[in-house]
Amino acid sequence: DTGVSQNPRHKITKRGQNVTFRCDPISEHNRLYWYRQTLGQGPEFLTYFQNEAQLEKSRLLSDRFSAERPKGSFSTLEIQRTEQGDSAMYLCASSSGTSGIFANEQYFGPGTRLTVT
Amino acid sequence: AQSVSQHNHHVILSEAASLELGCNYSYGGTVNLFWYVQYPGQHLQLLLKYFSGDPLVKGIKGFEAEFIKSKFSFNLRKPSVQWSDTAEYFCAVAGFQKLVFGTGTRLLVSP
């Protein structure tokens, strides 16, 4: 399967702990996105990478959140000092980039469901 | 900033009924528009997209959508739904390097 993969698929953690999620995009895609989805809502944009450069971050991404994409391949999203409000599905997507400023179609992974107790 | 409204949160249909799901967006300039579907237990998949050209776009599994610029709408349609179309459907507009999604419509098709 050459789609977007995410690990782990589920994570249960206690409030105050740190968690890290991994995303492996489609190999030829240079753009990688993180979204968060809560119950009854559509995905909400968190951050975006073009190759290894993090080019945009949402206001939703507090200082406790950090994302990296070393060498422009896989990406990690870390949440420090988790709070109950961080409980959500964290989605990763990738796309092939052009010079256009508007987003192209994005291919989504299965997501990591985080539950903070 | 772009935004998307999906007015139908839950839709229940019988098999063979026709489907139309509403989607309105707020951005007045050039838009790229998408419909994504999420089947139970599966990840988001692209149904169809509109970038430019013919405002009636056809997607997978018999779905189509019509872009009406004057109404800021991009409604999804299917002439005859099947039980397997039970899923959640999301409309999205392309923002600057990101997608802006609506809240989704849960479709339940009863056999």
Kindly report the length of chain A: 117
The alpha-carbon radius of gyration of chain B (Å, integer) is 13
pLDDT, tens digit (0-9, with 9 covering 90-100), for B45-102: 999 999 888 999 999 999 999 999 999 999 999 999 999 999 999 999 987 778 999 9
pLDDT, tens digit (0-9, with 9 covering 90-100), for A34-66: 999 998 899 999 999 999 999 889 988 889 999
Q: What is the DSSP letter of B55?
A: S
Neighboring chain A residues of B24 at a CB cutoff of 8 Å: none
Strands B105-110 vs B87-94: parallel, antiparallel or unpaired = antiparallel
Neighboring chain B residues of A93 at a CB cutoff of 8 Å: 44, 99
Nearest-Cα distance to chain B for A27, in Å, is: 18
Nearest-Cα distance to chain B for A31, in Å, is: 9
Which member of A41, A44, A103 has the closest CB to residue B94? A103
